[in-house]
Amino acid sequence: MNEFIIALGWLGVFAPMGLGALGSAIGVTLAGQAAIGAMLETDGNYGRFLGVSLMPSSNVIYGIVVMFSLQQPITPENGGALFGIGIITALVLLYAGMYQGRVCASAIAASKNKPEIFGLSLAPAAIVEGFQVFAFVFALVLAGSIGS
């Protein structure tokens, strides 16, 4: 049983980086596809479209920092806490990255036809980023309370 808890602890340590990177990759892909389509249909603002498509990439950074904050000797006593913090943070980063990519794709699609709404169309993506930051900060706070 102790080996299983230790294995869960290892999963919790590395899941934020892995699933955060996966969420970033999916989100950037979704937004990047919209940016490429918008570039074909417009005569300018290419940098804006490309910049917006990169917004979901922050999840991998959050995941790496959480992974390093959770790194410690894994024991049966702390394995459950490491798993819980890590896996919940990882799932938030995965899903938030995917949905942020969708929001960014929508912002790109809308602003290619109506450029004056570009800044306002990014507000929903910024709100999703806020939820990612909440999960990130809570994980860091909780990681500091785990005894090794």
In which band, very low, low, confident or very high, does the pLDDT at 1 lie, cut at 50, 70 and 90?
confident
> Looking at domain 2-143, what is its CATH homologous superfamily?
lithium bound rotor ring of v- atpase (1.20.120.610)
In which band, very low, low, confident or very high, does the pLDDT at 42 lie, cut at 50, 70 and 90?
confident
Instruction: Express as a percent the part of the chain with pLDDT over 90.
Output: 88
Q: What is the mean pLDDT of residues 73-98?
A: 96
Q: What pLDDT, on a 0 to 100 scale, did the predictor assign at position 43?
A: 86
The string of DSSP codes covering 46-93 is: HHHHHHHHTGGGHHHHHHHHHHHHH-S---TTTHHHHHHHHHHHHHHH
Domains of the chain, by residue range, sit at 2-143
Q: What is the mean pLDDT of residues 61-66?
A: 97
Question: Could you give the CA distance from residue 92 to residue 66 in angstroms, rounded to a whole number?
Answer: 12
Instruction: Express as a percent the part of the chain with pLDDT over 70.
Output: 99
Closest CA to 92 of 53, 130, 55, 146: 130
Question: Could you give the CA distance from residue 109 to residue 118 in angstroms, rounded to a whole number?
Answer: 10
**To the nearest whole number, what is the mean pLDDT of the chain?**
94
In which band, very low, low, confident or very high, does the pLDDT at 4 lie, cut at 50, 70 and 90?
very high
pLDDT digits (tens, 9 = 90+) for 116-127: 998 899 999 999
Dihedrals phi, psi of 74, to nearest 5 degrees: -95, 125
Q: What is the mean pLDDT of residues 51-69?
A: 95
Token pair recorded at residue 9? 């602890």
Q: What pLDDT, on a 0 to 100 scale, did the predictor assign at position 96?
A: 97
